[in-house]
Each structure stands twice: as C-alpha cells, then as structure tokens.
Amino acid sequence: MLKPVNVIVDRDIPYISGVLEPYASVRYLTGSEIRRSDLHDASALLVRSRTHCDETLLEDSPVEFIGTATVGTDHIDFDFCDERGIETASAPGCNAGGVVQHFFTSLYAVAQRKGISLSGKTLGVIGVGHVGSRVADLAEQLGFRVLRNDPPREALEKLAPGYFCPLQRLLSESDIVTIHIPLEYNLNFAGERFFAALRPGALFFNASRGEVVVEEALLAAREKLSAIVLDVWRNEPAINPALLAAADIATPHIAGYSQQGKVNGTVAVVRAFGRHFGIDPLKEFSLPTQVRPLDFAQKNQEQICEMLLNRYDIWADDAALRADPSRFEQLRADYDYRLEF
C-alpha cells in the first residue's frame, strides 16, 4: 500500500490544478512565499523558479522530492539536496519553442520598426542547447549565416570542423547576437570586454538569465548597438529603470511562456512525481496541446514579420511592462500563454 503523500504546489504552475488530488493531499501556495514552516508534513514540493530550495527552506523538513516545472535550476541547491537524499527533477527543454518564438518575433519586429534589413546578416548564437540549437537551425532555414559558440558542447562532441566558433570571432563577425546559456558558471558572462568586442551596430538579445549580463556594461555600450532586446533582468522582479528605458523591446521573463512550453513543464514534473512515489497513473500523464504551424517559405522580411506579430503581439508585452514595471510578477502570473509557430 502506498504511503500518504502530502505535496505543496506553486499555485502558478499551469494546468496542474486537480491533477494530483486523486493520489495525494495537495496545498497550493504562492511560490515566492513558501516557507520552512509550510513543510512540516510535506513529502514533496512542485515549484517554479521563485522558490529557493536550499537549507534555509528545507532544513529539518520531511521533503524527499522536489520537482521544478522550469528549465533553469539555479534556485535549487543540488549539493544540499544530494546530501539529504532529496530527489530533484526539472523540465529541460520544455520551453524551447516559446523562446524561439520570442526571439524571432522580437528580431523581425525590432528590425522592421528601425528599418534594418536582415538580408545577408550573420547571427551569433551563444549557447547551443535545447533553445540555441533550434534558434540556429531555423535561422539557417531563413537565410541567415549562423555562428555557434558553446565550449562545453564543443569539448564533449566531435562535430564537423567549424561547427562551433570561438567567442571573439563570433562577437566580431555577428550582426545579431543572442545568449542562451545557463546561469551556472556564467555569472557576469557579458561584461565590459564582451561588449567591447561586439561588432558596432549589432543587435543584442538576452532571454537566458539577467545575471549573465553586467547591466552597467550593456548600458555603456548602448550607443554602439543598433538594438537591445531583453526578457530577463538582474534582481527580478525589481528591474533597472535605466536598462528598461534603453531596451528597444522589454518583456517580463515570459519568453518561454507558450501554451506548449507550460504543458511540457507541468507534464515533466507530474511524471517525475509519479515515478518517485510509485503512482502509476501519473507516470504517463499527458495534456493536450494545440499546434498551428507557420510557413515562412518564399516570404520576404515584411511578410515574415507580419506573420509572427499576428501570432504573438510582442509589442503588447513590451507596453505592459513599461506601463508599470512594479507589476513584473503579476504580468507573469496572469500571462495568457500564446501558441507557438
């Protein structure tokens, strides 16, 4: 007979309400407000990035499983969890399609608004994992020359010579640079030397983590850049008002907030929860999603831009954040998950 399972769930994990109740006792709390006192009888935590799962939260708790419905895991202290025998699970790649959509929509939108031709441009992709690889592949299909930089992958994989590119070469040759790296080992990755090496007139994008960019260095380089697009910020939910003003497109950490991405994240943690506690019906849990592909073949830049904006009005997200940056968390919590392309 299975032992009773008490689980605390971040109330903002989408599509999870009612899923666990047939098999566990569930409490829904706001992720940023989960405290040690809430865990006195909890066997499991299902969270997002706003719950810091470390000694402060978990010491002397009965928690044996933590699932985060996110790609990023820098909010989890894995050393502490390993030491205490707490199993952890995440959702790698779950939001890749949404971030790809955010990148290309913002790229074409800002280029059209500023009169920048994308024909013949070189795109530099820093970090070629779940997201970066898809950005690079679609960019090549759209006619961009693509440079890829990913030293960890390059060290592990024997790919064709020239598949990966040294960072300095990428920065000096790329008209567009986008960052898709984890925060781990990459704090302050893009600092003064990074932006000094960047090609004048480049377009700069960051939808990875705010802390990989030194904001003062980016602000100092503003005049040499044709455009800045940011979805992530240091010290979220508080954001730097000077950087908000300097950005051409600014969104509240919602690049991956597609319907498919959220379904993927929730499915991943529910299945992991089911495996850990031996709950067979949850091991193959699934949710329906919608797919509405876009066909970019034989389309010019203006037509592609129109198609992308018809699917996702990124300017509306930009306007909402600028209207009241203090609503950063509320904008995320109330977000109407969009369909990918």
Fold of 6-90: Rossmann fold (3.40.50)
Digit-by-digit pLDDT tens for the chain (341 residues) are 356 799 999 999 999 999 999 999 999 999 999 999 999 999 999 999 889 999 999 999 999 999 999 988 989 999 999 999 999 999 998 999 999 999 999 999 999 999 999 999 999 999 999 999 999 999 999 999 999 999 999 999 888 788 999 999 999 999 999 999 999 899 999 999 999 999 999 999 999 999 999 999 999 999 999 999 999 999 999 999 999 999 999 999 999 999 999 999 999 999 999 999 999 999 999 998 877 899 999 999 999 999 999 999 999 999 999 999 999 999 998 999 999 98
Domain boundaries, the chain: 6-90, 96-256+297-333
Is position 253 annotated as part of the catalytic site? yes
- Residue 2: its pLDDT value, please? 54
Q: Provide the β-strand partners of residue 126.
A: 149, 179
| Active-site residue identified among 209, 271, 276, 332 | 209
Please state whether 63 falls in left (phi above 0), alpha (psi between -120 and 50) or beta: beta
- Residue 1: its pLDDT value, please? 36
Question: What pLDDT, in 10s, does the model give residues 58-87?
Answer: 999 999 999 999 988 989 999 999 999 999
Is position 169 annotated as part of the catalytic site? no
- Residue 329: its pLDDT value, please? 93
Fold of 96-256+297-333: Rossmann fold (3.40.50)
CA nearest neighbour of 54 among 70, 34, 40: 34
Is position 236 annotated as part of the catalytic site? yes
Give whole-number Cα distances, 119 to 106, 107, 141, in Å: 16, 13, 13
CA nearest neighbour of 56 among 37, 28, 83: 37
| Active-site residue identified among 55, 64, 236, 329 | 236
List of E strands, the chain = 6-10, 25-29, 44-47, 65-68, 87-89, 122-126, 145-149, 176-179, 203-206, 227-230, 249-250
Cα 184 from Cα 90, distance rounded (Å):
15
- Residue 48: its pLDDT value, please? 93
- Residue 96: its pLDDT value, please? 95
Two tokens, residue 210:
């705010």
| Active-site residue identified among 50, 253, 276, 338 | 253
Long-range contacts formed by 235-242: CB under 8 A, 24+ apart:
235/210, 236/210, 236/328, 237/328, 237/329, 238/328, 239/325, 239/328, 240/215, 241/325
